[in-house]
A and B are shown apart, each in its own frame.
Chain A
Amino acid sequence: MPLDASFVGRTWPAETYEVSLEKIREFAAAVGADDPVHHDREAARQAGHPDVVAPTTFPVVFTWPATRRVVDDPALGLDFSRVIHRDQTFELTRPLHAGDVVTSVVAVDEIRELAGNDVITFRVDVADADGETVATTRATLVGRAGDEDGEA
Chain B
Amino acid sequence: MSALFDASAGDQLETRTVTITRADLVAYAGASGDLNPIHWNERVALEVGLPGVIAHGMFTMSLAARYVADLAGDPAAVVAFTSRFTRPVVVPDDDAGASVELGAKVTDVADDGTRTVSVTATFDGRGVLGKAVATVRPR
Closest A residue to B29 by CB, please name it.
Answer: A30
Whether A91 contacts B80 by the Cβ 8 Å rule is yes
Whether A89 contacts B80 by the Cβ 8 Å rule is yes
Given A27-B32, A31-B66: A56 in contact with B75 (beta carbons within 8 A): yes
How many interface contacts (CB-CB < 8 Å) are there between A and B? 96
Chain A CB count within 10 A is highest, among B48, B61, B63, for B61
How many chain-A residues does the 8 Å CB contact rule pick out? Answer: 34
Residues in A whose Cβ lies below 8 Å from that of B84: 86-87
Would you call B83 an interface residue if the criterion is a C-beta within 8 Å of the partner chain's C-beta atoms?
A: yes
How far is A56 from B74 in the complex, measured between Cα atoms in Å?
A: 11
Helix, strand, loop or mixed for chain B's interface? helix
Residues in A whose Cβ lies below 8 Å from that of B57: 85, 88
Would you call A64 an interface residue if the criterion is a C-beta within 8 Å of the partner chain's C-beta atoms?
A: yes
Closest B residue to A84 by CB, please name it.
Answer: B85
Mark out the residues of chain B between 67 and 87 whose CB falls within 8 Å of any chain A CB in the assembled complex: 69-70, 74-76, 78-85
Helix, strand, loop or mixed for chain A's interface? mixed
Would you call B59 an interface residue if the criterion is a C-beta within 8 Å of the partner chain's C-beta atoms?
A: yes
CB distance from A119 to the nearest CB of B (A): 12
Whether B82 contacts A56 by the Cβ 8 Å rule is no
Residues of chain B touching chain A, judged by Cβ–Cβ distance below 8 Å, are 18, 24, 27-28, 30-34, 48, 57-59, 61-63, 65-66, 69-70, 74-76, 78-85, 139
